[in-house]
Amino acid sequence: MGKTYWMLVTTQENLDITRSRGFSVQGVDTKNRKKAMRMEPDDRVLYYVSDKKGFAATATVTSESFEDNERIWKHHRERETFPHRVEIDADVVLEPSAYIDGYQVGPTLEYVKKWPPHLWPHAFFGMLHIIPQRDFNFVEGELRRAGGATPEPEPEMPDTTQIGADSHADGLVDETESDRAGATRRKFSVARKSRKSSHRRRTQSTGSSF
């Protein structure tokens, strides 16, 4: 099996928590347990921040999935601890002011074409989504440009992954972590906004959320 490309929908608050802990672990809520259990080393993760309407970061999975109920991240359901977790390494991380605008990029993605054009934001409902490698590479390239780095696209591989539409709208994604005792936090680089970014002007949209 080849690597799987994931889009993870989170909030700025929870992304800040993950960031403060060194982007070492990512958690998934109980509603997405089956998907989370499929996450494996070398899988890639693209972060979308729902309350900022923007793509913020990418990371690489470095462990098999496991369970841990330590409460770290926030959710409107008190009982939710995002127990389905994987260890990760950050690849690209932008400051909030440099996020790639979801309203500019979202409608162009192959993944959203499973929804009617006027309902494309529904593709971002829920916490965890499998997306095509081409979509992942495109957005990661834009993230690297926004951060002032030269894009380093992955070789295109035949897409053998069956991508199912996520019809269940889950509120927010929370990133959870099993903080291994004594483990050294991984270092990561926070990219700064590039003046040359094609997405430095963010489209302001009112009355919509996803």
d(Cα 30, Cα 81) in Å, to the nearest integer?
8
Least confident stretch, 33-37, 101-105, 159-163: 159-163
| pLDDT tens digits for range 170-179 | 433 334 344 4
pLDDT at position 86 over 80 = yes
Q: Is 25 helix (H, G, I), strand (E, B) or coil?
A: strand
The predicted model gives 187-204 an average pLDDT of 40
Least confident stretch, 37-41, 115-119, 129-133, 139-143: 115-119
The predicted model gives 16-31 an average pLDDT of 93
Do 124 and 102 touch, CB atoms closer than 8 A?
yes
Q: Which residue has the higher pLDDT, 159 or 106?
A: 106
Walk me through the domains of the chain, giving residue ranges and CATH numbers. Answer: 1-210 (3.10.590.10)
Query: Mean of the per-residue pLDDT values for the chain?
Result: 79
pLDDT number for residue 161:
47
Distance linking the first and last C-alpha atoms of the chain: 31
Using alpha carbons only, what angle is made at residue 138 by residues 137 and 141, rounded to the nearest 5 degrees? Answer: 80
Max distance between CA atoms of the chain, in angstroms, equals: 49
pLDDT number for residue 80:
86
pLDDT at position 154 over 90 = no
pLDDT at position 84 over 60 = yes
pLDDT number for residue 72:
85
Least confident stretch, 24-28, 42-46, 78-82: 78-82
Instruction: Tell me if the pTM is above 0.75.
Output: no
pLDDT number for residue 152:
65
